[in-house]
A = this chain, B = another copy of it.
Amino acid sequence: MFPGANTDRDAAEYVVVGAPLDVSTTFQPGTRFGPDRIRTFAEPFDDFDRRSGQSFTDLDVHDHGDVHAWDDAEEYLEYVSGLLSDVRREGAVPLVLGGEHTVSLAGVTAVEPDVFVTLDAHLDLRTEYAGNELSHATVTHHALETADRAVILGARAGSEAEWQRAAEPDVTVVAPEAVGDWEPAFDDEAVYLSVDIDGADPGFAPGTGTMEPFGLTPREMRDVVRRVAPYATGFDVVEVNDRDDGQAPSLAAKLLRTFVYEHADRR
């Protein structure tokens, strides 16, 4: 159980769902251990948040546990999406723990946002990767099948085709150096917020599949989460694996907590 997520499902305002998919990870695998690592490294956090004056245990968070992954990503996403749709229908906000970035598609399908906001080192705008149309590197591309537009914060890597795609009006890319000054502008748009932990500089999150130097600081990521949370109806943090000394899962767990505190404070 995610520490402090001790509310029953039917009374929950937020529902944590672990989605340990790990089939298309390109370089270093291990996202299948992501949800476990995130829950574990959330252990030492205080319940109370001084900024908002709230306690996590008062915010009605339920942990559904993991949806054990199998090899067929498409089927798996469909299943998880159904589960997250139920969460939405019951009026709760889904909080997905990845698993590879692909699992965000389950969240997007369930939440049907107008805007897909993501912290990521990569554009993830490929239409396929190594023949796979459901690779983690295609997630923003697929998210745009549901959302009207995407905002990619901290991106510093992509293919030439991806950068061309990113130049179209429905995509906003905020370079790592500009993320600190970024302010959201959402007009009555429903927002889904996806945190690919590799948006962080590898020094702060080495436990991820595809490290990309020159990334964000934890505080920059936190500030984005704070700014976006009030508008969001779905959240995930993905691409954490078990290949570090706890830096990546600790940051991931804290960003999830940040999201919940800020969202609850503004709702």
Q: Is the CB of A250 within 8 A of B202?
A: yes
Which residue of the partner chain, among B50, B75, B206, contacts A163 with CB atoms under 8 Å?
B50
Asked if A186 lies at the interface with its beta carbon under 8 angstroms from chain B, I say: no
A212: B residues at CB distance < 8 A: 44-45, 250, 254
7 tightest A-B CB contacts, nearest first: A29-B29, A44-B210, A203-B204, A27-B44, A206-B245, A70-B130, A213-B254
A209: B residues at CB distance < 8 A: 44
A70: B residues at CB distance < 8 A: 130-132
Q: Which of A9-17, A35-43, A140-148 contacts B (4 or more CB under 8 A)?
A: A35-43
Q: How far is the CA of A47 from the CA of B130 in the complex (A)?
A: 14
Asked if A6 lies at the interface with its beta carbon under 8 angstroms from chain B, I say: no
Q: How far is the CA of A8 from the CA of B62 in the complex (A)?
A: 21
Number of chain A interface residues as a range:
35 or more
Q: How far is the CA of A145 from the CA of B92 in the complex (A)?
A: 46
Q: Is the CB of B157 within 8 A of A45?
A: yes
Q: Is the CB of B160 within 8 A of A48?
A: yes
Nearest B-chain residue to A134, judged by Cβ? B71
Asked if A26 lies at the interface with its beta carbon under 8 angstroms from chain B, I say: yes
Nearest B-chain residue to A200, judged by Cβ? B203
Asked if A201 lies at the interface with its beta carbon under 8 angstroms from chain B, I say: yes
Nearest B-chain residue to A205, judged by Cβ? B203
Within 8 A of B (CB), among A191-231: 201-207, 209-214, 218-219, 222
Q: Is the CB of B26 within 8 A of A29?
A: no
Q: Is the CB of A158 within 8 A of B203?
A: no
Q: How far is the CA of A205 from the CA of B203 in the complex (A)?
A: 7
A43: B residues at CB distance < 8 A: 27
Per-residue 0/1 for A121-159: is the Cβ within 8 Å of any B Cβ (1 yes, 0 no)?
010000000111001000000000000000000001111
Asked if A263 lies at the interface with its beta carbon under 8 angstroms from chain B, I say: no
CB A133 to nearest CB in B, in angstroms, measures 10
